[in-house]
Each structure stands twice: as C-alpha cells, then as structure tokens.
C-alpha cells in the first residue's frame, strides 16, 4: 500500500441494516451486519417485537430493546435514516400520493422527534430530503421556500448537537448535485451537509460523466456517501416512477462511476475529515443502500446474500483506488463475552 494511503485514517463503512433482513427483525439485521464485519448501521425500518416500523414510530420499549441488542452485536448507529423532507413543499394536488404537513407543525413534531431519536441512539447524523415540489413544475422556482425550511431544520438539528444530511434524489427539489449546491449555499449553515448517491442520478437518465459533474457540484458540502449503483435507463424523464426502478446493481457494475468519484474523495479526504470532526462526526461514512433486489420511494431490499455481494463489490472498488477502510478483526471481538448456553 502506498505511503499516502497509510497516512489516511480508514473511511467508515455502514449500511441500511433493514436491507439485509428478510423480515426486517432486529436480530436478522444485526446478525447479518455482524457477520459481514460491519461496525455501524443506519436505522430505518425495524421490527423489535412490535411489528415492522419506521424508526420514527418506535416505542420506548422497542428503543430500549434495540439499544440492548446492538450492544450485544457490537454495533453503533451511523445515522438515523429518517424520511424528514419527503413531504410536499406546497399543499397542492399534483397527482401524487405525497403528503403535506404545515411546516411549523412538521418542524415541532417530526423534526424534533428525529433529533430526539438520533440522540437516544448516539448518532450525530440525520438523513433527510429537500421536499417535493408540485409535479410538473420547475424545482428552481421553489428554491427560496425550500431554503427557508431546510435552514430551520438545520438550526433545530444544531440545537440538539446534530447534523442534517440532504440526500440527492429524483422528484425532489434537490434532484441533482447542482440543485443541492444551490440549497446548500442558500442555507449556509454548518449543521447541514450533502449526501451523494450515484444511483439516484443514474436512474434519472444521467451518464457516468454527468454523474461526476453532479458530484463535483455538491462536493464542497459533502457529508457522507450512499453506495448503490444503477444501469442507465434508455430515456431520461422529468418524473421518475420510483416503484418501477429495476436496474440496481453492485457498485462495480453500474454507471455511477464510483472509481473516479472515490479517487477524488481520496484527494480531498483530509479536508473533508477536518470539517466532519469539527461537527463531532467520527469520520466519513460510506453507507451501503444497495437495493439489489429492488427499491422504491421509501426503501429498498437486498437480502443478506445480496447485501454481502454488494459490500464485497464496493470493497473491491475501495481496494482498487487504495482508499483504506476497516472491517471487524479478531482484536475487535476476542474480549466480547456473550452468553451462548443452550437452554435445557
């Protein structure tokens, strides 16, 4: 390994644990992630004994059970995979089923709830989105209102010692890197960062070169990275039918161009890390969200086998660009004592 790589601290690998579990139970999620060698997970959908729930709806009893189980399996939460910002910006019928909530109510209830959950699970990061503009309208027209609302969310997160990550995704105002850059600069708050996701650009019909341009546009605000990939569809459309997306692939098989993006991140890594550590964030997370068995508007699925394939594929790309990362090793587990007696 070259000397410049030896001087870099490893990037942090995480993932949406619900994607690795057939029934989304906490035990399935944590078993899969521990076996894969991961130390972090993103909390989104989980069954802790009260049925499958979005983390935002967890009871105190389920929270306590998840906290206990994640300690047993040696896991920590990297980010809360909240749906904050996946609501309509304007109360206007547009042919979609997206819900609208008056923003003052949304901020006081949903955003505060997300902040409380993030702190209870010991993460500094909340994943979120940039609001749905009325379908068929130009997202640029709505930048001002979105900036105001995202600024209020960032301020609320900051009060709780947290950082809000804005993910690039189709059909939202921040559907491209260039639009996210405008939101980021407009909000201009240290508690808001940007989340790159190559597949969320490719599925809109963008080429590998275009994806790289969008990455560069949002690079200054990069907070962490979602890892999934997509084979480019034949046509580019203004509105993406997320439930019909069916070409998700591991990170070494799609059109996102992860190699070039990772090489650029490697060059910028010291500056990125300095900015994150100043926010109390332990490092640069690469968050696996492979969707290799399917994905939609509010989640995706890979299964334990698909998740393992996707993780190994991404590690191959990291190895190829010589960006260091860490999985569990013997020293991490040899002192862990867990009861394994079989009841008689």
**How many CB atoms within 10 Å of residue 223?**
26
- 338 located within any domain: no
pTM assigned to the model: 0.93
Residue 331 lies in a domain: no
Residues 6+ apart with CB under 8 A from 228: 197, 198, 199, 200, 248, 251, 288, 289, 290, 291, 295, 300, 310
Asked whether residue 343 is domain-assigned, the answer is: no
Per-residue pLDDT of the chain (344 residues; tens, 9 = 90+): 444 555 889 999 999 999 999 999 999 999 999 999 999 999 999 999 999 999 999 999 999 999 999 999 999 999 999 999 999 999 999 999 999 999 999 999 999 999 999 999 999 999 999 999 999 999 999 999 999 999 999 999 999 999 999 999 999 999 999 999 999 999 999 999 999 999 999 999 999 999 999 999 999 999 999 999 999 775 666 778 666 677 899 999 999 999 999 999 999 999 999 999 999 999 999 999 999 997 766 678 899 999 999 999 999 999 999 999 999 988 777 666 565 554 44
Q: Is residue 97 part of a domain?
A: yes
Instruction: Confirm if 297 and 24 have CB atoms less than 8 A apart.
Output: no
Domain presence at residue 49: yes
**What CATH number corresponds to the domain at position 106?**
3.20.20.150
Reading phi first (left if > 0) and then psi (alpha if -120 to 50, else beta), residue 93 is in beta
Q: 30 lies in which domain range?
A: 9-326
Residue 234: inside a domain, yes or no? yes
Measured distance CA(19)–CA(291) in Å, rounded:
7
Number of domains forming the structure of the chain: 1
Residue 231: burial class (beta carbons within 10 Å; 0-12, 13-18, 19+): middle
Q: Is residue 260 assigned to a domain? A: yes
Residue 1 in domain: no
């Amino acid at each position: 390994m070259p000397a410049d790589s030896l001087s870099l601290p490893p990037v942090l690998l995480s993932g949406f644990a619900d994607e690795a579990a057939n029934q989304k139970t906490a035990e399935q999620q944590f078993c899969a992630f521990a076996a894969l060698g991961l130390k972090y997970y993103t909390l989104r959908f989980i069954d802790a004994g009260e049925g499958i729930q979005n983390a935002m709806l967890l009871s105190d009893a389920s929270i306590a059970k998840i906290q206990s189980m994640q300690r047993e399996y040696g896991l920590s939460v990297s980010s809360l995979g909240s749906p904050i910002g996946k609501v309509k910006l304007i109360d206007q019928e547009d042919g979609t089923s997206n819900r609208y909530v008056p923003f003052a109510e949304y901020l006081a209830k949903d955003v505060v709830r997300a902040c409380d959950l993030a702190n209870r699970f010991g993460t500094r990061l909340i994943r979120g989105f940039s609001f749905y503009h009325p379908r068929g309208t130009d997202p640029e027209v709505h930048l001002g209102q979105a900036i105001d609302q995202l600024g209020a969310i960032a301020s609320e997160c900051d009060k709780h010692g947290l950082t809000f990550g804005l993910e690039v995704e189709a059909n939202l105002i921040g559907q491209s890197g260039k639009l996210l850059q405008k939101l980021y600069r407009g909000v201009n708050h240290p508690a808001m960062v940007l989340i790159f996701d190559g597949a969320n650009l490719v599925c809109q019909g963008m080429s590998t070169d275009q994806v790289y341009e969008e990455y560069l546009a949002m690079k200054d605000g990069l907070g962490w990275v979602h890892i999934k990939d997509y084979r480019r569809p034949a046509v580019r459309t203004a509105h993406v039918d997320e439930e019909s997306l069916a070409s998700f692939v591991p990170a070494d098989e799609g059109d996102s161009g992860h190699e070039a993006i990772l090489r650029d991140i490697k060059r910028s890594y010291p500056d990125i890390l300095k900015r994150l550590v100043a926010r109390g964030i332990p490092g640069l997370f690469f968050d696996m969200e492979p969707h290799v068995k399917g994905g939609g508007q509010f989640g995706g699925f890979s299964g334990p086998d698909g998740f393992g394939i996707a993780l190994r594929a991404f590690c191959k790309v990291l190895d190829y660009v010589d960006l260091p990362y860490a999985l569990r090793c013997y020293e991490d587990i040899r002192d862990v004592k867990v009861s394994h007696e079989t009841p008689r």
